Amino acid sequence: MEDQQVYTQVIELQGHIIDSMILPQIMDEAIDRGGDFVVEEFQIGRRKAETSYVRLELRAPSPELLDRLVRHARRLGAIVPEAEQVVTKPAPADGVFPEGFYSTTNLETYVRLNGGWTHVEDPEMDLGIVVDYAAGAARTVAISDVKAGDRIAVGHQGVKVIPLERSREQKEAFGFMGSAVSSEKPKATLIREVASQMRAIKSQGGKTLVVAGPAVTHTGAAPLMVKLIEAGYVQYLFAGNALATHDIEAAFYGTSLGISLEQGTQIEGGHQHHIRAINRIRAAGGIRQAVKQGLLTKGIMHACVTHGVDYVLAGSIRDDGPLPDVITDVIESQRRMRAVIHQGVDLALMISTMLHSIAVGNLLPAKVTTVCVDINPAVATKLADRGSFQAIGVVADAEGFLRHLVTELGL
């Protein structure tokens, strides 16, 4: 024991590292995991405008633990003074990363390449980084898209992650952020803020993505969504077969899952409406064709077609039919959603769809403001548990939320 080996690594931190809790977290982690630290140099910002600087030696009894502590610190913005070039290995086969591959976060990331820091394109969590030495470029790559021989980053050497900087204004606006989700908190301010952002995005030519589940139609909120689309507040829609089907069912029969949207009661034979609606669209060749043929004349999907909203309908195993527009291969669906996101999204509004919210949350960069509306508080919690920590939870029913939002937008 007395002769115990110690592994060490010096790291540096610069910035508001105390009031942003970054330094304490690094110290805490070291101690919690059985490591230690020595403060080599410390300059504290005497006033709020001044940044602080610390040079810290992390110490651990094993190289594995040291690695873990360094990785944790780097995730919080620490750099290793003598930055080394990113290390890569070739992918051993199509669809397989080399062992020890660097698994990405959804934060802005850079790799050390040729003495400089190269931005990694398309940040998204749980992917690999493919490095193009010739072009001096790097981008994320999904495991299903990696090709044998691609140079994939391994280890965390030469990889730098930028923690999400949250402006004071944003903190004020979305003060809910990070707090426990509760159905007992006032929502008016939050919805006002969402409306305000949507107006700003619209006026600046930005992009709002709506991710919506079938509860939007079941609760009778489709006309509210149509208003948002018609007023130009929605650029992209990600949904599944269910939303589109029940929306079209409502257009054809006035029901959603066989429940009359006017009466709120089950219609005899109504449980067949959705499958009949699907059949008609299949006969027409698809949603766009049905709109063109004058068959489909209202509803959310109609509004998407007539107002140029780019929609991606992703398949799921509970789908009836499905509609011809639905992408039945889930990996292909991810590719299509990724392609949309890579064009740039400013706000993601997820409404009453746990599956889609988590799926899209996985694909979004952390910097995209993400608002997750569900009557079940567990949805936002799950989203956060799965890495979409930036998501702001709103506990509300789809119809109530959209009604309020539409009013707030003056529609």
Please identify, using beta-carbon distances, which residue of 232 and 324 lies nearer to a second copy.
324
Please identify, using beta-carbon distances, which residue of 143 and 206 lies nearer to a second copy.
143
372 DSSP assignment: E
Residues 179-208 that bind a second copy (CB under 8 A): 179-190
Minimum distance from residue 347 beta carbon to a second copy (Å): 18
Minimum distance from residue 224 beta carbon to a second copy (Å): 10
299-325 burial, b if ≥16 CB within 10 A, otherwise e? bbbbbbbeeebbbbbbbbeebebbbbb
Q: Are 361 and 391 in contact (CB under 8 A)?
A: yes
Nearest residue to 334 (alpha-carbon basis) of 363, 306, 301, 368:
363
Count of CA atoms in the C-beta half-sphere (13 A) of 336: 19
Of positions 103, 157, 170, 289, contacts a second copy by CB under 8 A: 103
Please identify, using beta-carbon distances, which residue of 235 and 241 lies nearer to a second copy.
241
Of positions 10, 12, 68, 122, contacts a second copy by CB under 8 A: 68
- Can residue 166 be called a binding residue for a second copy (CB under 8 A)? no
Alpha-carbon span 206 to 62, nearest angstrom: 49
Q: Are 300 and 216 in contact (CB under 8 A)?
A: yes
Alpha-carbon span 28 to 80, nearest angstrom: 19
Residues 12-41 that bind a second copy (CB under 8 A): 18-21, 23-24, 27-33, 36-39
3-state secondary structure of 89: strand
Minimum distance from residue 116 beta carbon to a second copy (Å): 26
Residues 234-293 that bind a second copy (CB under 8 A): 256-257, 259, 261-266, 268-269, 271-272, 274-276, 278-280, 282-283
Among the listed ranges 109-117, 227-235, 303-311, 353-361, the one in contact with a second copy (CB under 8 A) is 353-361
Minimum distance from residue 219 beta carbon to a second copy (Å): 6
Provide the pairing of β-strand 109-113 with 310-314: unpaired
Of positions 55, 227, 307, 403, contacts a second copy by CB under 8 A: 403
